[in-house]
Structure 1
Amino acid sequence: MVHSKNIVLGVSGGIAAYKACSLASKLTQKGANVKVVMTDNATKFVAPLTFQALSRNPVFTDTFDEKDPTKIAHIDVADWADIVILAPATANIIGKLANGIADDMLSTILLATQAAVYIAPAMNVHMYAHPAVIKNMQTLVDWGYHFIEPGAGYLACGYVGKGRLEEPATIIETIEAHQQQKENLFLTGKHVLVSAGPTQEKIDPVRYFTNRSSGKMGFALAEVAANAGASVTLVAGPSQVQIQHAQITKIDVTTAEEMYESMLEHFGASDIIIKAAAVADYRPAVTYEQKMKKQAGPLQIHMERTRDILQALGEQKAQQFLVGFAAETERPIENGRKKLERKNLDAIVINDISADGAGFAGDTNAVTYLNKRGKTETLGLNTKQEIARQILQLIHEDVEAQRS
């Protein structure tokens, strides 16, 4: 979870600064891009050259040391960071951050960054228990900062108790675990509307027209979205697939008209809409209340068009991100792109159902994701759960790009 991440390591003035050397080394070995920012007092414990050698990047110590005239250094570093780690964090730097004080390079970066900030305190046991320090830490927790609590043991000051900087390996493990959890919950706060399964269009009390859709792909999308933190409304046609999840509200429908009405009802309150259902394009113009009797000769049933759900949603779309599905047997990309444009979609998932392992009712799928900016992603044969996860990740990336 730290591989290829841009990490600012902030080192403040405490004897535990020597452990920050190991932290910088371990982060670099894991493939992170590390830039070290030191307070003036930190340089009295460890020379900046040490961190430069370990991180293979320049070390920042002076707010006014502007090496590149085209950039403001502390803003540039703050914007560059994916993660900021403050280790060791003294009572002084914690107090500055909690009270909005920016009087050196490190404190200005801490106020300017939008990255996740992890704070690993290290100080005397009595300092750590002081009401002012406790209040400042609680303020930062309330603001969304993440603390990695110090260990207990023998301290450099001679006391035994809580206040020793956590070991570098544990700091990294804690951050990776939190980043993994954060990444897994990438749809937190979103309302996702999903349609799934076939529809059934009645002829008489014992006969109907339908298709081969099992609903498995749509159900997988609903489940993965809920597991990623979203509140999900699942509008499902007749299906044998079972689903139970606290974050999923399931609405059962039978006909294309019922699905049309339900999708439009919940459309306005949704952020992301995924129409994965295989909805009937036609239905019998006349239905019979009694069973049709077998007659001699051929039977003709006049069919009429159902209402186009995806077209209607595309016409009403405002801030929503609308995704359609296209089940194709010939020229899948060409036909899918036409559908994307014709129905005012933000993205489309193209499914060549003639390909091995990608047809209806199976547990696997292989699709192509195409967005309105022309980006194309081929998702090779995999379980429908994994394909759902990859689709939702792509949708999330597009939503974030659209927002920014």
Structure 2
Amino acid sequence: MSTEPGAALHDVADSYPQIPTPPPGLFERARRAQRRRRVAASLAVVALVAIGVSVRLNLPAYVPANNPGVARMPSHFVESPKWTASVTDAPIARALLAFVVAGQENQLTLVGPEDRYRTFALTGERASDWAPSFLLSPNGQYLMTPNRQQTELLNIASGRSRTLPHGAPLAWSPDGTQAVLVSFDGNGFPSIHVIDVANGNVLWRVALPLANRKLTAALSPNGESLAIQHSGDLSVYRREGKQWTKPVGAQLQLAGQLAWHPAGNVFALSHQTKTTALNLIDANTGEVAGSVPGGGFLGYVGEQGRTEGLPSVSGWIEGAPIVNSGNRALVRLGTPSEVLMTTAEHTNEFQAASAEVNWLATDPGAPEPGPAVYRYRPVISIAVPIIVCMLTLGIWIMRRRRWR
């Protein structure tokens, strides 16, 4: 063996066993295997994210309590607690009250039996400035909200909505089985449709002759007559056509969607003076058939202080009207008049159910805002995908280190 360094290295190289040549395609197969592992890891990430989103969106169905039948009205209500569950996530059997407070005009609060509070987003656009932003059915089972010239009908017990395409909401029938909708043509002329709520079919319609969007209506208890106040004129229509029209000006107003007396022979106009709260109009002739006292009582309602706005009928007790006084209180008019309920501070709009209701109001308990999983769903909607993505990213990084 040579002692020179260069020769020694050559001797070692010549005597070392020959390294076998890698078989053809080995490195290509390794690269393909690595790509397959990366694709599998990516698919796993996507699957985990999909599972997280599915968990977020498909929370277990909430089953509301059974309808308790006749429910007692609370003597007052308060603003909904923060993080109150939406009625679309956690329905309630029915609503006794619906209200909107100042500063939260796009959020409606529903109050059901057993002090169950739920919220509902008011996102639709009203057909006119005179149209209501919501209408609670007298039986408390449905809520109508406008969506331009359509109506979204919410089933409060299921949290599901469907669209009524015949117009924006105008009034409910006293039993909640029919609804009055209004649509306007390109020139502003209104058409009124009376529909069957169960199937959405139009039962009859009225075309009004004036292009004016200031419009209110009330359907009679039997669903056969419709009182309409339009542009200063008061009319009664039946299925076969108009019965009469009389000018009433702006000082008298049709007293809400439940203005008809349960007997169906008269309906109420708001006419608040120092002595009078309502005028009763003969449905057959249009003549004044009587009046309801209590105008002075409505001007200042106990701790609620001075009220503004004309009274609107929310229901009837043994022939005596229950009126909403300026969204500050519910008052039974009579001799004497009586405050049945006071509203939350800063209440802008307020409606109460009137069917299957015991008006002997009781002091309410603390608001029940719904199960936590539904109350904090907005937070869960953000947190779950973030957590899932962080976990899957961590798994993917660990796998990459192992591949190396």
If the TM-score is normalised by the length of the shorter chain, which range does it land in?
Answer: under 0.3
Flag the structure with higher strand content: 2
TM-score (norm 2): 0.21
Larger RCO (CA within 8 A; separation ≥ 6): 2
TM-score (norm 1): 0.21
For the pair shown, which has the larger CA radius of gyration, 1 or 2?
Answer: 2
Flag the structure with higher helix content: 1
